[in-house]
Amino acid sequence: MSLYQLHNSTAIVTGGSSGIGLACVELLLEAGAAVAFCGRNEDRLRNAEAGLRQRFPEARLLAHVCNVLDADSVNAFAAASLAALGPASVLINNAGQGRVSTFADTTDSAWTEELNLKFFSVINPVRAFKAQLERQTNAAIVCVNSLLASQPEPHMVATSAARAGVMNLVRSMATEFASEGIRVNGILIGLVESGQWRRRFEAREERDLDWTQWTAQLAQRKHIPLGRLGLPIEAARAILFLASPLSAYTTGSHIDVSGGLSRHA
């Protein structure tokens, strides 16, 4: 039986068709959990599902097209998951990318869009799955957040502000949900390899640099002490710890997964 004690539990992962979300699905399946994951892009979702079913042919797995910003869509995902896999005991909120903009060039509509994405990608799934979580022992919610929440960057002003709000939301939910037996935690990621960084690599000016060299230079410019970008699986391992009974006395907290980029104790 897995160290993480998630055998025969049901876990939900939003934004699970790539990157950190997909790495979480893989680790949860390895730990013996049943997993329902969602994404907006059906082609990407089905490709991820096919790969997972090949690797884990005996797994209890549900892949569902869902827009986490649409409450009805999330409620339908929750109903489908409950019918297929039983009530959830773990909810991993993982959705959203960063917006590059300064205060001067962030429009009202951009502010609204960014705040709506960061908050309601958490609020809608929590509302949809909370009744299921309340029925479980060792229920846990984990939110994937960014180091920007505590270390804002002026060129990502809207994302930094929204991320700080989500960190506060995690703490508020942890306090409110504690009496209902639901723990709420998060992780703060720094620079992690992703499709977004791959696209920037493909558009690079330094054409003589390969991926390893380019990211090493990026890490140096960003003053990352470990000298490289993080891997999705490294973030997923921290999430799995917070989702599991191994962290049974931890709530309202965040794990820093930034390679030492944080300047705060």
Both 214 and 91 in a single domain?
Answer: no
211: phi then psi, degrees, rounded to nearest 5: -60, -45
Kindly state whether residue 180 falls inside one of the protein's structural domains: yes
Both 209 and 179 in a single domain?
Answer: no
Both 178 and 209 in a single domain?
Answer: no
Domain membership of residue 160 as a residue range: 10-192+231-255
Kindly state whether residue 3 falls inside one of the protein's structural domains: no
The whole-number pLDDT of residue 265 equals 53
* Virtual torsion, Cα 212, 26, 133, 121, nearest 10 deg: 40
Both 41 and 100 in a single domain?
Answer: yes
223: phi then psi, degrees, rounded to nearest 5: 60, 45
Can you say how many angstroms the Cα of residue 49 is from the centroid of all Cα atoms in its chain?
18
The whole-number pLDDT of residue 1 equals 54
Both 187 and 197 in a single domain?
Answer: no
Both 203 and 131 in a single domain?
Answer: no
- If you search the block for the tokens 């991926």, which residue do you land on? 211
Both 89 and 185 in a single domain?
Answer: yes
Q: Determine the residue type at 58.
A: E
Q: What is the CATH number of the domain that holds 177?
A: 3.40.50.720
- Tell me how crowded residue 253 is: count the other CB atoms within 10 A of its CB: 15
Each of the 265 residues of the chain gets a pLDDT tens digit; together they read: 578 899 989 999 999 999 999 999 999 999 999 999 999 999 999 999 999 999 999 999 999 999 999 999 999 999 999 999 999 999 999 977 788 999 999 999 999 999 999 999 999 999 999 999 999 999 999 999 999 999 999 999 999 999 999 999 999 999 999 999 999 999 999 999 988 888 888 888 778 888 898 999 999 999 999 999 999 999 999 999 999 999 999 999 999 999 999 987 5
Both 212 and 188 in a single domain?
Answer: no
pTM: 0.95
Both 219 and 120 in a single domain?
Answer: no
Cα gap 100→123, rounded to integer Å: 24
Number of domains into which the chain is organized: 2
The whole-number pLDDT of residue 263 equals 83
Contact by Cβ (8 Å): 188, 258: yes
Kindly state whether residue 263 falls inside one of the protein's structural domains: no
* Virtual torsion, Cα 22, 26, 28, 30, nearest 10 deg: 180
Kindly state whether residue 220 falls inside one of the protein's structural domains: yes
Both 161 and 36 in a single domain?
Answer: yes
Both 157 and 221 in a single domain?
Answer: no
Cα gap 14→79, rounded to integer Å: 15
Both 75 and 154 in a single domain?
Answer: yes
Can you say how many angstroms the Cα of residue 233 is from the centroid of all Cα atoms in its chain?
12
